[in-house]
Structures are given as structure tokens and as C-alpha cells.
Amino acid sequence: MKKVTVIGAGASGMMAAVAAASAGAEVTLLEHKDRVGKKILSTGNGRCNFTNIHQEPIFYHSEDPLFPWGIIERFNARDTISFFLQLGVYSKNRNGYIYPNSDQASAVLDAFRMELRRLGVNVRTGVHCREILPGKRGFRILTDEVREEPSSSKSGKSGPSSVAESYRADSVVLCAGSKAAPSTGSDGSGYDLAKKLGHRILPVLPALVQLKCDGSFFKQISGVRVNGTVSLFGEGGCLAKDTGEIQLTNYGISGIPVFQVSRYASRALYEGKQVEAVLDFMPDFSEEQMNAFLKARASVRPDKTAEEFLIGLFHKKLSDLWIRLTGIRREKRAGDLTETELAALCSMIKEFRVTVTGTNSYDQAQVCCGGVDTSELDPETLESLYIPGLYFAGEILDVDGMCGGYNLQWAWASGRTAGEHAARD
Ligand SMILES: Cc1cc2nc3c(=O)[nH]c(=O)nc-3n(C[C@H](O)[C@H](O)[C@H](O)COP(=O)(O)OP(=O)(O)OC[C@H]3O[C@@H](n4cnc5c(N)ncnc54)[C@H](O)[C@@H]3O)c2cc1C
């Protein structure tokens, strides 16, 4: 029986272990945290958006843009839904975003735990892999393991200690994740393991993350949520844009549309480029329509003050800021606002420009962009082109998806492919 060792018991690792065991291999799953699948519990705000019905190649990013799609096509959203159904997880569809019917991320994790047990996978927690040594006949995996053992200290008290161990395997699947949300276990040590084996790591940066922006006024508008479009500009023009609920915070901008464009900001800033975000708070109106709308609004209630003019249209904190930034007197009558003043207000609404100075840290990022260079893998099997028997899956690879179930879909699809092939002779 082929011996497969999977390193990392996150989404991709548990899927790889299930796939390899289902294909008849003897599987060991090593995890350095005290429990498996910690990150899954925090996905989808605790509800786990585990895939999405709407799938297109452009929803996945990589240096080789076609690479992820080849894997996704082999195990797509429908395969994911039926896989979980077989494990007892009935799904709920919210505009294409798929969740467990119970709305509990723990249901996905529990289903995996039961399946790993049913298939006889040897799950070892508290096992940190520090080196993978390929040999003529398979691999040796060097680990440090947390053990609850009597201490050798004079006090005689027992306590956890670290013990060096090693495992043998015919194939290894490296599923150690990225650097995002390191408290869940993905501390970036997987990249070091891959690097020691000769694989190239493309720059790893936070993605699906909040953006820090210049401007002391952010403190004034912090807490405001507003529907709008975020367009991100680098030195070469528009990098990305997205529409949805923008959250204004005391350090900058957040919310789903900001997450969707954040990977482009991360990369451009890393390359030393200037990055600007342009916020459109009325995306359904063209500039001309907005101008005409403001003029009509001023003529309908000319006695309102400038301060009162936008009440009911935008959050008061925002309109107060715009009145201040345009230099319009707060007590000026709406009917007396000049064309120039109305045009200035219009550009605040349609083209609010902020300089992006950075992203929040890995602690707040949902995923990372960059990782193990996919050009060094077989695109059909995810096996290393350098080391036969070594496979990769999940976020450790240079693949990141959009927000909306795509990153877990990548984890399931790549875990499935790598696990199945690792189990073959
Ligand atoms: C807050 C949050 C919400 C999210 N919500 C969603 C969502 O709703 N939908 C979606 O599609 N995606 C979501 N994501 C992204 C998604 O969770 C990840 O892309 C996915 O879990 C990655 O799976 P993985 O198996 O590659 O890595 P991980 O889940 O990070 O698993 C890697 C595992 O390897 C272990 N490990 C690392 N190094 C070692 C080592 N040296 N030795 C032993 N073990 C090791 C880690 O402890 C960890 O358990 C979210 C992410 C976060 C942080």
C-alpha cells in the first residue's frame, strides 16, 4: 500500500488526505496546531462560504493565469457541492454563494473529521514539519512534536516538551498554507520547506485585505458604510475596480470591493509604485447626471443650508467632510451655491481620491498572493517537476481567488488533484 504523508491539515490538506485515502493509500496527516482545520472555522464570518456557483477563469489569479482553471475544471463547484452532500453537508445557495445549510463553518470541519476517521487516516496534531528529505526510495520528514511528558527539571512537574521525530513516506503533499491569518497555523513555514526543496517562491503579499490611506479626515468618517465603486490606479492606469459596500475606517478603506482590488494594491506598492483609490459614491449616476441632480435638488429646497443640503442622500459624516473639503460655507443657502461649488461637490461624490499607503498586515488578510511558482509543477497532477512524489495544494501555491468562496474552491480542487495523484503508483 502506498504511504502518503500530507503536511498541513487545513482545507486543502484535509481534502488531499481524504482523496489519497479514498484512492487506497495509507495516509498520515501532520498538523502543527493542536487541532485540525482552524482556519475553516473563521471562514465566511463563521458560516463558511465554501464555493460559488458562478465560476470563471478570471476569478482566480496566478502568474500563469490559466494554471488554476485547469485544476478547477477537474473538480468544480458542482463537484464540491456533491462531495459535501455525500459527507452530510447539505448546502444553502445565497445568490450563488454556497454555505452549509446549518450556516455553521464547524459543520464543514466536523464532516471532514468524520470522513478522515472513517477512512482510517492517521491524524497527528502538534507535529511541526521542519524538513522534507527526498531519498532514492521516498521521503523522510523531520518533525518537532509537542508531547505532554514528565519534565526533566528538578521540580519534577510535567509539561509540554518538544521531541524530534521523523516519518517515512512514498509521496508527500505539501499543504501548509500561506502567511494569512497566522494565528490559525499558516505561519509561512511551508514556503521554507518548499524553498529548501529547490522551489521558487514568488513574492508573498497580503491579499483580500483592508487598504491604509492617507488623510487625517478618515477619523471623522470612520464607521460609515456606503455603497460605491472603488477604482484602483497605479502608474500604468486603472489596475482593478469593484462595486459594493465600502467601509470607511479610521485608517482607510475596507469592505468586499476593497478586498477584491487589494491584491493589485499590494503588488503595486511592493513594486514601489504610487497607488491611488478613486471612490465613486453614486455609481449608478454619470457625472453629468449627478451634476444635474444636485442642481435640481438645490432649486427644489433653496432655503436649506449647505450643511443640510445632502442630508438624506449621504451619511452626515460624509457630507460634512465634503462641505469642509470644498471650502463651502456651512450656512450658505443651497439656492446660492454656485455652479463651481456644485461641481466641486459632484466630484467629491463621483471621484473621491485617496492615496493608498499600504495594506493591513497578514493578521487581517484572508489570503496571500504569490507563493510556490506554478511553472515548476505538472499542471495536471500538481507534482513537482524537480522531485517526483512531491505534490503541492492550496494557498501555498501562487494562486489566489476573489472573495466569495473561490479560495476554498481552489483548496478543495487542488487538494483533491494532488491527493489522488499522490496515492497512485
Ligand atoms: C477570516 C478568513 C475568512 C475566510 N473566508 C473564506 C470564505 O468564506 N470562503 C473562501 O473561499 N475562502 C475564505 N478564506 C480563505 C480560505 O480560508 C483559505 O484560502 C483556505 O483555508 C486555505 O487553505 P489551505 O489548506 O491552503 O491553508 P490553511 O487553511 O491555512 O491550512 C494550512 C495548514 O497547515 C498547517 N501548517 C503550516 N505549516 C506547517 C508545518 N510546518 N508543519 C505542520 N503543519 C503546518 C497550518 O497550521 C494549517 O492548519 C478566508 C480566510 C480567512 C483568514
- Percent of the chain exceeding pLDDT 90 equals 95
Cα-to-centroid distance, 313 and ligand 1 (Å): 41
Which residue, 346, 291, 287, 263, is CA-closest to 61?
Answer: 263
Residue 218: per-residue pLDDT: 97
Enclosing H/E stretch for 94: strand 91-94
Cα-to-centroid distance, 11 and ligand 1 (Å): 6
Task: Decide which of 303, 326, 359 is a domain's last residue.
Answer: 359
Instruction: Give the model confidence (pLDDT) of 164-220 as tens digits.
Output: 999 999 999 999 999 999 999 999 999 999 999 999 999 999 999 999 999 999 999
The whole-angstrom separation of Cα 100 and Cα 102 is: 5
Look at phi and psi of residue 37 and say left if phi exceeds 0, alpha if psi is from -120 to 50, else beta.
left
Residue 105 has pLDDT above 70, yes or no: yes
Asked if 204 and 179 count as a contact pair (C-beta separation under 8 A), the reply is yes
Cα-to-centroid distance, 173 and ligand 1 (Å): 15
Among 69-83, 146-160, 241-255, the least confident range = 146-160
Same domain, 167 and 264: no
Same domain, 183 and 261: no
Same domain, 388 and 265: no
Instruction: Give the model confidence (pLDDT) of 375-416 as tens digits.
Output: 999 999 999 999 999 999 999 999 999 999 999 999 999 999
Same domain, 320 and 379: no
End-to-end CA distance of the chain: 9
Same domain, 107 and 148: yes
Which residue's alpha carbon is nearest to atom 23 within ligand 1?
11
Asked if 126 and 148 count as a contact pair (C-beta separation under 8 A), the reply is no
Look at phi and psi of residue 384 and say left if phi exceeds 0, alpha if psi is from -120 to 50, else beta.
beta
Structural domains in the chain (count)? 2
Cα-to-centroid distance, 412 and ligand 1 (Å): 11
Instruction: Give the model confidence (pLDDT) of 212-241 as tens digits.
Output: 999 999 999 999 999 999 999 998 899 999
Same domain, 56 and 152: yes
Average model confidence (pLDDT) for the chain? Answer: 96
Concatenated DSSP letters of 317-368? HHHHHHHHHHT--TTSBGGG--HHHHHHHHHHHH-EEEEEEEE--TTT-SEE
Residue 4: per-residue pLDDT: 98
Amino acid identity at 390: L
Residue 27 has pLDDT above 60, yes or no: yes
Q: Which three cell numbers stand for residue 162?
A: 518538544
Across 151-303, where does the E strand assignment appear?
158-169, 171-174, 201-207, 211-213, 225-234, 237-248, 252-254, 275-280
**Which of 125, 408, 409, 417 most suits a substitution to test ligand 1, by most atoms within 8 Å of the C-beta?**
408
Same domain, 229 and 316: yes
CATH number, domain with residue 75:
3.50.50.60
Asked if 103 and 92 count as a contact pair (C-beta separation under 8 A), the reply is yes
Cα-to-centroid distance, 10 and ligand 1 (Å): 5
Does residue 70 sit within a domain? yes
Residue 153: per-residue pLDDT: 53
Q: Which is the closest atom of ligand 1 to the Cα of 13? A: 25
Q: Which residue has the cell 469593484?
A: 242
Does residue 61 sit within a domain? yes
The whole-angstrom separation of Cα 348 and Cα 319 is: 9
Identify the domain containing residue 167 by its residue range: 3-204+370-423
Same domain, 100 and 230: no
Question: What are the beta bridge partners of residue 159?
Answer: 149
The whole-angstrom separation of Cα 262 and Cα 264 is: 5
Asked if 355 and 274 count as a contact pair (C-beta separation under 8 A), the reply is yes
Same domain, 220 and 186: no
Among 98-107, 150-159, 353-362, 364-373, the least confident range = 150-159
Which residue, 188, 77, 95, 173, is CA-closest to 412?
Answer: 77
**Mean local confidence (pLDDT), 48-55:** 98
Residue 80: per-residue pLDDT: 98
Asked if 143 and 167 count as a contact pair (C-beta separation under 8 A), the reply is yes
Residue 92: per-residue pLDDT: 97
Does residue 120 sit within a domain? yes
Q: 403 by DSSP, 3-state: which?
A: coil
Residue 158: per-residue pLDDT: 72
Cα-to-centroid distance, 13 and ligand 1 (Å): 9
Instruction: Write down the pTM of the prediction.
Output: 0.95
Same domain, 338 and 387: no
Task: Decide which of 340, 359, 378 is a domain's last residue.
Answer: 359
Which residue's alpha carbon is nearest to atom 3 within ligand 1?
43
Q: Which residue has the cell 521540580?
A: 155
Same domain, 167 and 257: no
Does residue 328 sit within a domain? yes
Cα-to-centroid distance, 393 and ligand 1 (Å): 11
Does residue 365 sit within a domain? no
Q: How far is CA 60 from CA 68, 223, 394, in A?
A: 6, 31, 12
Task: Decide which of 308, 334, 359 is a domain's last residue.
Answer: 359
Which residue, 145, 248, 154, 173, is CA-closest to 9?
Answer: 173
Q: Report the interhelical angle of 105-118 vs 11-22 (nearest 10°).
A: 30
Residue 140 has pLDDT above 80, yes or no: yes
Does residue 227 sit within a domain? yes
Residue 377: per-residue pLDDT: 98
Does residue 364 sit within a domain? no
Cα-to-centroid distance, 97 and ligand 1 (Å): 19
Residues with CB under 6 A from ligand 1: 7-13, 30-33, 38-39, 42-44, 48-49, 128-129, 175-177, 180-181, 184-186, 189-190, 366-367, 394-395, 405-408, 411
Q: Which is the closest atom of ligand 1 to the Cα of 396? A: 26
Which residue, 36, 58, 208, 197, is CA-closest to 124?
Answer: 36
Which residue's alpha carbon is nearest to atom 21 within ligand 1?
11
Q: Which is the closest atom of ligand 1 to the Cα of 365? A: 53
Enclosing H/E stretch for 283: none
Query: Around Cβ 52, how many Cβ atoms within 10 Å?
Result: 23
Asked if 359 and 397 count as a contact pair (C-beta separation under 8 A), the reply is no
Instruction: Give the model confidence (pLDDT) of 148-161 as tens digits.
Output: 766 555 556 677 88
Asked if 184 and 368 count as a contact pair (C-beta separation under 8 A), the reply is no
Same domain, 20 and 155: yes
